[in-house]
Amino acid sequence: MLEQQPHSLTAAEREAYRNDGFFVRRGVFPAAEVARLSTAVEAANRAALAAAAEPGGGATYHLDGNRFVDTAACTVQFEHQPGSDTVRVIEPIHVLHPALDTLLDHPLLVRPMQGLVGQSRLALWTAKLNLKRPREGSGFGWHQDSPYWMHNCRHVDRLPNVMLALDEQSADNGCFEVIRGSHKQGILPGTSDGSQLGGFFTDPACFDLSQRVRLTGPPGSLFFFSPHSVHGSRPNRSSRPRRALIMTYQPGGQPMLKIPAVRNIN
């Protein structure tokens, strides 16, 4: 049994994760820490953009018309508007700034994750940045993470996610949304609309949209959710950013998703 320590998973949170597939800790990171991480995120974004723009610095490809660049360090996904140079997603993100790598070991993340993974020794599976710039940030269709990962890992049930909000999360700037209880069905079928990525978006006939929950909260909030939870978000139509770091943990000693190396958690 894991020893109870500060920031550890509570009985109520464990029950919510089991029944609903998610739980929230609002405003737990101090404002000064959020500001420091926001500065690191912007530096990482500049580094990713520079690497993507460097001649011969990465492989560019398009999926469903959307531009991706695989650099030496990470994959950079650009916003969906034709010709956009605004970054949408960077994965992995922790390799681009030391403060983002150090964050992975923070007790506010690690202690509850030990309870969700079910052991004290953890490793990183992946870490990414969703930027959602004001009025540009596109939405994310309803999907599960597990279909993306099931071919790369034998323990997909033990890959809990935590999203750290760097800005206020609200309905008008495209906050995180989740389908309550959808994780109980395991890996669900994807759509068959003929698009390249359609199979990774969950067939809408397989979940109950009436169970949609919008997860709002101030900067510094943490949103924990199952890899099987159906989730998504709407576009950012506001004048405010909606930046978020999403980190996924796994049992210790296991390699990361995009990097053939182990990043154990201290």
Tell me which residue has tokens 């990097």.
Answer: 259
What was the pLDDT predicted at 1?
Answer: 45
Does residue 73 lie in a domain region?
no
DSSP, collapsed to helix, strand or coil, labels residue 152 as coil
What was the pLDDT predicted at 6?
Answer: 86
Does residue 265 lie in a domain region?
no
Strand 176-179: give its sheet, edge to edge.
140-143, 231-233, 176-179, 212-215
Q: Can you point out the beta strands (E) in 94-174?
A: 122-130, 140-143, 161-165
Measured between alpha carbons, how far is 97 from 113 in angstroms, rounded to an integer?
22
Does residue 65 lie in a domain region?
no
What was the pLDDT predicted at 4?
Answer: 62
Does residue 89 lie in a domain region?
no
Does residue 203 lie in a domain region?
yes
| Per-residue tokens: 229 | 């939870």
What are the residues whose beta carbons fall under 8 Å from the beta carbon of 103, sequence distance 6 or more?
37, 94, 109, 164, 245, 247
Query: Cβ distance 201 to 143 under 8 Å?
Result: yes
What was the pLDDT predicted at 135?
Answer: 95
Does residue 247 lie in a domain region?
yes
- Type of residue at 221: S
What was the pLDDT predicted at 194?
Answer: 84
Domain count, the chain: 1
Domain extent at residue 235: 11-33+101-251
What was the pLDDT predicted at 43?
Answer: 98
Could you tell me the mean pLDDT of each successive run of 10 residues in the chain, 266 residues long? 75 98 98 98 97 89 95 96 94 98 98 98 98 96 96 96 98 97 97 88 96 98 98 97 98 97 97
What was the pLDDT predicted at 161?
Answer: 98
* Domain at 122, CATH number: 2.60.120.620
Does residue 86 lie in a domain region?
no
Does residue 71 lie in a domain region?
no
Specify the DSSP element, H or E, that contains 205. Answer: none
